[in-house]
Amino acid sequence: MGSNVDVDVLVVGAGITGIHQLYRAREAGFSVQLLEAGDGPGGTWFWNRYPGARFDSESYSYAYLFSKELWEEWEWQEHFAGQPEIERYLNHVVDKFDLRRDMRFGARVTSASYDEATATWKVRTSDSKAITARFLVAATGILSVPFFPDVPGRDDFRGEQHHTGLWPSTPVDFADKRVAVVGTGSSGVQIIPVIAQEAAALTVYQRTPNWCTPLNNAPITDDQQAWLRADFAAIKETLDTSPAGFLHQMHDRKAAEDDERQRHQFFEKMWASPGFSKLTSNYTDLFFDADTNAQWCEFVADKVRSLVHETAVADKLIPKDHRFGEKRPPFVTGYYESFNQPNVSLVDLSETPIVRVTEAGIETTAGSREFDLIVWATGFDFGTGALLRMGIQGRDGLALADHWADGPTTFLGVQTEGFPNFFFPGGPHAAAGNNPRYNGDQVDFITDLLVHARDHGYDLIEVDPAAEQAWVAMIERNVARQSFTEKSYYFGTNVPGKPRRFLLNSGGRPKLHKEIAKIKSNDYKAFRLSTVQGS
Ligand code: NAP
């Protein structure tokens, strides 16, 4: 596409989105290279290799849909695959489509600067290499920078400590060990039951309980495998178009349309249903009617009380500060039951906060406990974390970190003004829901945009500022209409000092689809396309 570049498209990140982008850009005839900090493909599913890590979207809903052959040949073992199976799948995809030859592992991007004269990006990596690309696509993820709380003494601890999001590839042995887990979000509640089975003693440090409901995982039966194979076109159509990117059917009624007995039966059905269907297929007014939400919460609270033997422990595990859906709810397997084991205890940090980590363990206001191993399940610098650490500088040397000092501004969650030829699918302003579906929409759109530019002889793509402002205004306008509150890390709330801005597309996937259709019918006028002198 130009003689002054090493590659047309440089992709950063070998997660689900980056692999997809590499595949699509190469298929469209661009020269592509992909840089990845880790030693293998997987992204989130490479780093979060903690025991118990698994999808909580159905495996087949999460998988790639760009190849029917791939769909038909890969037989997922479980409705919600564990991390090892996911990593195997992604390696299979990389090998099947011969993507590895364009991937460089162990290469962390340390800086990326836009050159105005040539409309190219110069990218440097931790292995002291430099590469020049026409287009830079950062598929660096929204949950990829682990967050460690600023607890005094963390480095003093003499035992082993790991963050769930940076889990070592060598096995971690819990047997006969005294283990602490700090954090009870989706990662914490997945690892806790596994450690509980192995450790001599497990102490769970919980600051805020979540509304956890059963994942209801199961092996995929032969009949289900046959259905998956027979129905690819219909399944793909549903996943490509459904608002949250799931196969789940929406319910047809509000809570008040059922009597009490019917409601209870329906909630039982929801409790027994797989994963996110408790959000997508629940009463249609679950997030709009406080009474419906309260009834569901009370049902879940009753379940917790019935599962956890000690009343005081059960009470601590029931959220009091937020309603169901105001934060991203975790899905669990045997989580509540773990607290019935004699080797498991719960420390409620809302009553007795952590004071410091010591050489031997953790000290709270109630005293100290000694550990051999501490697991930090304390989350991520969501949305913008990875992009702001990459040393990205756009036009006139403007640092992305400065440009977004008050929070991210984007168009469609793919581009921002002042950073021409730079794209970030699956980054800030992506939608809540099944990530690969929404991110895949963005990857497809970016690829189509690059092809459009090439077909018309353009090599510079920059969003029209008015289009970006309208998109940001849409996001701000719709924040009040979605279910998440400022208690959610979707607002950056979990990271001290981070601006409080909604980090997702509050218009959701339908809004993205509508906008993309409009842009295409309008000949991509939401972007300024031009040709660099002398290229
Ligand atoms: P998270 O939801 O942000 O949870 C972090 C936990 O750490 C919370 O319980 C938080 O307590 C606690 N914490 C943070 N700072 C603390 C401190 N200073 N002292 C004590 N506790 C502290 O992070 P996560 O569990 O890693 O999950 C993040 C997201 O990753 C999920 O929401 C989900 O989107 C994704 N995920 C997905 C899967 C899956 O698909 N299967 C699995 C795991 C994660 P507070 O609530 O009080 O802040």
Inside any domain, residue 28: yes
Neighbours of 297 (CB within 10 A): 17
- Give residue 376 CA to ligand 1 midpoint distance, Å: 9
User: Residue 463: which residues within 8 A CB-CB, separation 6 or more?
Assistant: 411, 415, 416, 417, 526, 527, 528
Answer whether 461's CB lies under 8 Å from 87's CB.
Answer: no
**334 and 440 share a domain?**
no
Question: Considering the entire predicted model, what is its pTM?
Answer: 0.97
Q: Is 184 in the pocket of ligand 1 (CB under 6 A)?
A: yes
Relative to beta strand 120-125, strand 109-115 is: antiparallel
**388 and 357 share a domain?**
no
In this prediction, residue 534 carries a pLDDT of 57
In this prediction, residue 2 carries a pLDDT of 52
**Hey, what are 522's tokens?**
């309008």
Q: Is 83 in the pocket of ligand 1 (CB under 6 A)?
A: no
- Give the ligand 1 atom nearest the CA of 189: 25
Inside any domain, residue 73: no
Q: How many residues does the chain have?
A: 535
Q: Is 190 in the pocket of ligand 1 (CB under 6 A)?
A: yes
In this prediction, residue 3 carries a pLDDT of 61
| Type of residue at 203 | T
Q: How far apart (Å, rounded) are the C-alpha atoms in residues 52 and 63?
A: 19
**β-pair partners for 54:** 82
Give, using CA atoms, the residue closest to atom 29 of ligand 1.
186
Three-class DSSP category at 517: helix
Q: How far apart (Å, rounded) are the C-alpha atoms in residues 319 and 187?
A: 17
Inside any domain, residue 447: yes
In this prediction, residue 244 carries a pLDDT of 95
Pocket test of ligand 1: the residue of 49, 62, 143 to mutate, having most ligand atoms within 8 Å of its CB, is 143
Neighbours of 425 (CB within 10 A): 29
pLDDT (tens digit per residue) in 179-235:
999 999 999 999 999 999 999 999 999 999 999 999 999 999 999 999 999 999 999
**464 and 430 share a domain?**
yes
**β-pair partners for 530:** 460
If phi > 0 it is left, if psi is from -120 to 50 it is alpha, else beta; for residue 447 that is: alpha
Question: Domain range holding 267?
Answer: 181-376
Q: Is 378 in the pocket of ligand 1 (CB under 6 A)?
A: yes
**353 and 466 share a domain?**
no
Answer whether 317's CB lies under 8 Å from 332's CB.
Answer: no
State phi, psi for 501 to the nearest 5 degrees.
Answer: -135, 145
- Give residue 183 CA to ligand 1 midpoint distance, Å: 6
Inside any domain, residue 507: yes
Inside any domain, residue 387: yes
**194 and 218 share a domain?**
yes
User: Residue 21: which residues within 8 A CB-CB, separation 6 or more?
Assistant: 9, 11, 34, 137, 139, 425, 443, 446, 447
**207 and 353 share a domain?**
yes
User: Residue 374: which residues within 8 A CB-CB, separation 6 or more?
Assistant: 157, 159, 160, 161, 162, 179, 180, 182, 357, 361, 362
- Give residue 50 CA to ligand 1 midpoint distance, Å: 14
**492 and 409 share a domain?**
yes
In this prediction, residue 431 carries a pLDDT of 81
**256 and 402 share a domain?**
no
**372 and 428 share a domain?**
no
CATH number at residue 507: 3.50.50.60
Q: Of the residues 327, 350, 376, which one is the last residue of a structural domain? A: 376
> What 8-state DSSP symbol labels residue 176?
T
Three-class DSSP category at 476: helix
> Across the chain, how many H-helices and E-strands are there?
18, 20
Mean pLDDT per block of 10 residues along the chain (535 residues) reads 83 98 98 98 98 98 98 97 98 98 98 97 95 98 97 97 98 97 98 98 98 98 96 97 96 98 98 98 97 98 98 98 97 98 98 98 98 98 97 98 98 98 96 93 98 97 98 96 94 96 96 98 97 72
| Type of residue at 529 | L
Q: Of the residues 361, 376, 391, which one is the last residue of a structural domain? A: 376
**185 and 319 share a domain?**
yes
Q: Of the residues 333, 352, 376, which one is the last residue of a structural domain? A: 376
Give, using CA atoms, the residue closest to atom 24 of ligand 1.
379
**304 and 452 share a domain?**
no
In this prediction, residue 432 carries a pLDDT of 84
Answer whether 109's CB lies under 8 Å from 125's CB.
Answer: yes
In angstroms, the first-to-last Cα distance of the chain is 9
Give, using CA atoms, the residue closest to atom 4 of ligand 1.
185
- Give the ligand 1 atom nearest the CA of 493: 48
**193 and 341 share a domain?**
yes
Q: What is the dihedral of CA 399, 21, 247, 189, to 10 degrees?
A: -50
In this prediction, residue 503 carries a pLDDT of 97
Give, for 111, the enclosing helix (H) or strand (E): strand 109-115
- Give residue 413 CA to ligand 1 midpoint distance, Å: 23
Pocket test of ligand 1: the residue of 203, 207, 212 to mutate, having most ligand atoms within 8 Å of its CB, is 207
**How many domains, in total, are found in the chain?**
2
Inside any domain, residue 159: no
Distances from the Cα of 282 to the Cα of 263, 265, 279, 325, 443, angstroms:
11, 12, 6, 12, 30
Residue (of 380, 445, 470) closest to 137 by Cα position: 445
Q: How far apart (Å, rounded) are the C-alpha atoms in residues 374 and 361?
A: 8
